Amino acid sequence: MKIILSISAKPSKLMAYFIWIWAAKQDSEDIPVEMINNKGSVSVEPGDYFIYWELYGSPGGFLACEVKKPDGKVVVAIKEPKIKDGKSFYALVKTFKA
Amino acid sequence: MNRIESVFAGFLIIFFCVNSPASLAQADTDTCVSAQQVQSMIDAMRKQILEEVRAGASGTARDATVQTTMSTDAHENATTPFSEDSPKKAATAGDLYVAKLRDSVDESSVGTPEGAGGGAQSEFQLTATTDSTRASLRRDFSKSDPVARNFTVRSFVASAPIDKKSSSGANLATLDGLANGFEVSFNFDRLKVTTPDNANSGRELVKDCAALGISVSNDGDDCSSDDVIEAAQKAGNSEIRDRWMSKGRIVSRGYQIKIGRDDFSYYADDDLSKKQTSRVPWSIGGRLGTLGTNWYIGADVALQHTFKPAPSETACLIRDLDVVTECVSGSLAPPKGEKRYLVGVEGRRSFEHAAVGVRIQRDVKNGKWSAELPIFLFRDGDKVFNGGVRFAWTTTDKFIAGLFVGVPFKYGK
């Protein structure tokens, strides 16, 4: 049974960002998350997953992001990560259960 | 200018400003400061001239006579305009006498409405700029496509200055003729990642995190590129460090269409009545840029049709060939249209303790240049650079140095 995860993001001082999800099990396929107006959704089987954010922009730029299950439960949330001084890139990977 | 010339220069200014103190309240002028100040200046100058004459400075007396005559000898009734007994009568168009005291229009602020010209002077400025100096409404439509590694943004922006005479912080020295009025713009930008690996770099990050002993196996674990760089630095693993240090390259291209509205006021040259009018400037342009690991380089072009106020002048109405009834300072004609072909290049770079930018712009059509160098040194509460010192130069404004606050550093547009 698949579940639909909804992803919402709020970028600040970013030129671009990209999000991928993939299952933690062996030989899993990448699930690129197409975000339109900072919202996206993916259909996944329950299990352990990685989510990966890639941010491009100015120092201090960040992306607040939440991944929710259909019942509204937040499975992943990031608020703090920021692009550091002297850089234009920040990437973060995080594990979660869907 | 010697003392005598100063006296006569003062006389000229006062002649065009003072005879109708009541009208000064209406005069849009920075030459005629206030009726009381002008009156005290007259008294001081009268006293000074009398002293000069009494002291035997005959030249002074002659000059004073000549000057007075210049103002009155065209009139049959040679009543001096400084006479406190001069009757104040209603002006008619036929009585207009226009005197140009000075041009004070700032050429760089073309399109600047309502007499916001600053004069072509080198100066030191303290500019406290916040977002509140310009109110804006913005609506973005973005699309992030991880497969194509494209990020596209379409935006509609409507903005208007809250305080038309305030500066715009780190973006002061611009030749943009729409920078000071109300404007609506449509922007399109497409950014593409240029690093060779178009695939998901996340798997690579997981692998590198694990190799450096950072766990990403349990629910809620996380690992960032900064964690990896720091751990690789400590472990002396330059391969992993360099891999993540070198990421962050994208190229951008976009275009912009802007339509504005500027309000102007000017005085009709027949009866000096104040007129209000508005014009619709527009601009169309394109831009290219590339973001590096800690820098940005960009170039842009734009074709603009803008409007600029007519040169500022001071004019007085003279009734019955002798009595100045009203003086005004400002444009004496409607705004004029002007085309601009703008080409600009800019670079920005951030360091650990500062960030800098440089921008050079050329108006090919009108032969004007502008350059600016903001250096960001101060941070806001979120530790983001948003203040510092700024050096700017334009063909018409010459050199300006100043402080700015409330302008966050960012790469690109």
Q: Which residues of A touch B254 (CB under 8 A)?
A: none
Cα dihedral B160, B165, B168, B173 sign: positive
Cα dihedral B398, B403, B406, B407 sign: positive
| pLDDT lower than 70: segments of chain A | none
Q: Domain spans of chain A?
A: 3-27+43-88
In this complex, the residue of A35, A54, A88 whose CB is nearest that of residue B411 is A88
Q: Which of B293, B125, B205 is nearest to A85 (CA)?
A: B293
B129/B406 Cα distance (integer angstroms): 5
CB within 8 Å: A18 and B296: no
Q: From the CB of residue B254, how many other CB atoms can be counted at a distance below 10 Å?
A: 21
How much is the pLDDT for B337? 94
How much is the pLDDT for B166? 44
DSSP state of A82: B
How much is the pLDDT for B305? 96
How much is the pLDDT for B29? 35
Selected residues 65-84 of chain A with any CB under 8 Å from a CB in chain B: 78, 81, 84
How much is the pLDDT for A63? 93
B58/B234 Cα distance (integer angstroms): 88
CB within 8 Å: A59 and B350: yes
Amino acid at B266: Y
How much is the pLDDT for B197? 61
Q: Looking at CA atoms only, how far is residue A45 from chain B in angstroms?
A: 16
Q: Looking at CA atoms only, how far is residue B124 from chain A in angstroms?
A: 29
How much is the pLDDT for B164? 55
- Picking from A19, A20, A31, A93 by the largest number of B CB atoms within 10 A of its own CB, the best residue to mutate is A93
Q: Domain spans of chain B?
A: 3-86, 107-195+248-308+330-405, 202-245
3-state secondary structure of B43: helix
Q: Which residues of B touch A17 (CB under 8 A)?
A: 144, 151
Closest residue of chain B to A25, computed from CA coordinates: B217
Walk along chain B (413 residues) in steps of 10 and give the mean pLDDT of each run: 41 36 35 42 45 42 29 31 34 35 31 30 42 73 93 92 52 72 93 76 92 86 93 94 89 96 89 91 97 94 94 84 80 94 95 92 94 92 86 85 86 78
DSSP for B52-73, please give it: HHHTT-HHHHHHHHHHHHHHHT
How much is the pLDDT for B288? 97
DSSP state of B335: -
Whether the Cβ atoms of residue B275 and residue B266 lie closer than 8 Å to each other: yes
Closest residue of chain B to A80, computed from CA coordinates: B382
Torsion of CA B242, B244, B246, B250, to 10 degrees: 170
Q: Looking at CA atoms only, how far is residue B171 from chain A in angstroms?
A: 17
Q: Which residues of A touch B350 (CB under 8 A)?
A: 58-59, 85-88
pTM: 0.69
A18 touches chain B (CB under 8 A): yes
The H or E element spanning position B354 is none
B363/B151 Cα distance (integer angstroms): 31
